[in-house]
């Protein structure tokens, strides 16, 4: 049973990872990030449940709270980019390099 859960969370994690690295739009990458966090939370929750440790479950809750905070900040930054009139593309942000 736990193998299935790990497979799912692993696959979700890799999917999110692919989204972050391959997609060009910022929002799509943002989705990828959240996907990775959720996958990890899933695995954590499952392990906590299986081992019967409340500590793990509390951890999942806190992780989700932190992810939420991150999302807020992330979205404000992406919106700032959008409002500044520049395309919210990863490649558009190339001014700083070298």
Minimum CB separation of residue 1 from another protein in Å reads 13
Minimum CB separation of residue 38 from another protein in Å reads 9
Minimum CB separation of residue 58 from another protein in Å reads 8
Residue ranges binding another protein (CB under 8 A): 6, 9, 13, 16-17, 20-22, 24, 26, 29-30, 33, 36-37, 39-41, 43-44, 47-48, 51, 53, 55-56, 58-59, 62-63, 66, 69-70, 73-74, 76-78, 80-81, 84, 86, 90-91, 93-98
HEC string for 23-74: CCEHHHHHHHHHHHHHHHHHHHHHHHHHHCCHHHHHHHHHHHHHHHHHHHHH
Minimum CB separation of residue 6 from another protein in Å reads 8
Question: Phi and psi at residue 91, in whole multiples of 5°?
Answer: -75, -20
What is the C-alpha to C-alpha distance for residues 9 and 17, in angstroms, rounded to an integer?
12
């Amino acid at each position: 049973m736990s193998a299935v859960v790990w497979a799912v969370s692993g696959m979700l994690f890799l999917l999110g990872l692919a989204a972050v690295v391959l997609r060009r739009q910022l929002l799509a990458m943002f989705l990828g990030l959240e996907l990775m966090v959720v996958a990890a939370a899933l695995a954590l929750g499952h392990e906590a449940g299986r081992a019967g440790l409340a500590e793990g479950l509390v951890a999942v809750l806190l992780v989700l709270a932190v992810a939420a905070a991150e999302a807020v900040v992330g979205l404000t930054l992406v919106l700032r980019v959008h409002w500044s009139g520049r395309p919210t593309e990863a490649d558009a942000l190339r001014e700083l390099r070298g």
